[in-house]
Chain A
Amino acid sequence: VPQTPIRAAMNSIQQLRVELNSTSDQPSSNLQVYFKNCTVDPSEEITKRVEELSQVFSQRFAQAVGQRCEGLGRKRFNLGVQLYYKVMESMLKSEEKRLSVQNFSKLLNNAAFHTSLLACALEVVLATYVGNSLKNGGFGRGCGASDSIETDLCFPWILDVFQLHAFDFYKVIESFIKAEPTLKHDMMKHLEHCEHVIMESLAWRGDSPLFDLLKQSREEGTGEQAEPPAT
């Protein structure tokens, strides 16, 4: 049977659903243990944040795709939440092994971490649904094409929806790939492409936290001298 772009996209969607079949859109018992081990239990904040971002995502999804599609947006969001909790658990297991600690209070109470991780999970879900346009040239060309209405949802759409700094999103990508070994080659390349776009342009916008860090680094005298923002 010849492989068509549509069939390839359908296969990717099916694979994603199978991989997430055994996961829940609620924190697993292992994750709940990590939450309880924190100096400040982040459970409530995490649940509240997911609910708020669910509303924002669904509304923006409906605006982009069509008002009748709000339910579809919620389904995509739920898949993203399943992946978010799955990857979070895997990341924490790796960190526990690496650092020999079980209290991740600072990390798990960091809003930028959670929003970035959820955004990355949703980017994987959204990009899976536009798989055919990824194969036709990735972010640069695929998202500019009018072959699918859902290409409007391509990266960096999710950053705008969640009001997220590209610099923070960038920080989760490598750990995300490490923590999710079942990630398909195309998706890994897509995330790598997102990295390049951030590195080449998005992280250098005027409001990027990168400039404060460069300034701080210069004041502390560590590392190389930073270039001024205009450069």
Chain B
Amino acid sequence: NQDYHFGLKEHEGISELFDCD
């Protein structure tokens, strides 16, 4: 999956994206 442009930063994950702790 190297061709995909990953945009999330190190400190971000699915928990943050759904407004979770």
Contact = CB atoms under 8 A, between A and B. Distances in A.
Contacts of A107: 14-15, 18, 20
Contacts, number: 54
B13 A181 contact: no
Interface residues of B, number: 15
Chain A's interface: helix, strand, loop or mixed, by majority? helix
B8 to A, nearest CB: 6
Interface of A: 91, 94-95, 98-99, 101, 104, 106-107, 110, 112-113, 171-172, 174-175, 177-178, 181, 183, 185, 188-189, 192
A188 B14 contact: no
Nearest to A92: B14
Contacts of B4: 174, 177, 188, 192
Contact of A106 (B3, B8, B21): B21
A104 B15 contact: yes
Nearest to A213: B19
Contacts of A178: 1, 6
The 10 closest A-B pairs by CB, nearest first: A106-B20, A171-B17, A175-B14, A107-B20, A113-B18, A110-B18, A188-B1, A107-B15, A188-B4, A95-B13
